[in-house]
Amino acid sequence: MKQLLDLFIAFFRIGILTFGGGYAMLPMLQAEVVQKHHWATEEELMDYFAVGQCTPGVIAVNTATFVGYYQKGVLGAIVATAGVITPSFFIIIIIAAFIQNFAHLPVVQHAFAGIRVAVAVLIINAITKLWRNSIKDKIGVAIFLIALCVAILLPISPVYIVITALTTGIIVKKARRLI
């Protein structure tokens, strides 16, 4: 029961303290899941995060669901998911009730501009951590550069890019074992 409460509180904290979606939440996920509670290693969290990107839905919710499931099964998945979505649910209700009355105020517009900048910094931080933990050799750099070019230049779903990168990584790893 304590671990279920810990799952809810940890993901509630992640949900309430971060803005900007999954990438912006990655530093908080690393702090809570890897460093504080030791529910996953850095590499396992990156795997959950990668799978969370490929599955339908919000990355943070998917990642919370995976972590909760691996800790306490279906009930853990439900509790962790509830923890991460509860703050957003209440915040959206409050904002929706009042935003029309205050959106035109300069202080509100400046606040949203500041939040966007902070989210950009969090995303850059998440990217650098993903880079350090994921790209470890020349093949990884090549896969990254090709995936980046395809994502920027072609109207292809990120799901296909991730599946292709995954398949390429598996093939390269198996080929290296044969050599």
Q: Model confidence over 120-157: pLDDT tens digits?
A: 887 888 788 778 877 888 888 899 899 999 999 999 98
pLDDT of residue 10: 94
pLDDT of residue 97: 83
Distance CA 157, CA 171 (A): 22
pLDDT of residue 124: 86
Using the structure block, give the residue that is written with the tokens 């209700």.
93
Return mean pLDDT, the chain.
87
Q: What is the pTM of this model?
A: 0.62
pLDDT of residue 20: 65
Q: How many CA atoms lie within 13 A of 91 on its CB side?
A: 11
Residue 91's pLDDT band, with cuts at 50, 70 and 90, is confident
Q: List alpha helices for 18-58, DSSP H.
A: 22-29, 42-54
pLDDT at 6 over 80: yes
Distance CA 31, CA 126 (A): 12
Average pLDDT over every residue of 83-98: 88
Average pLDDT over every residue of 105-121: 86
pLDDT at 22 over 70: no
Instruction: Return the higher-pLDDT residue of 45 and 23.
Output: 45
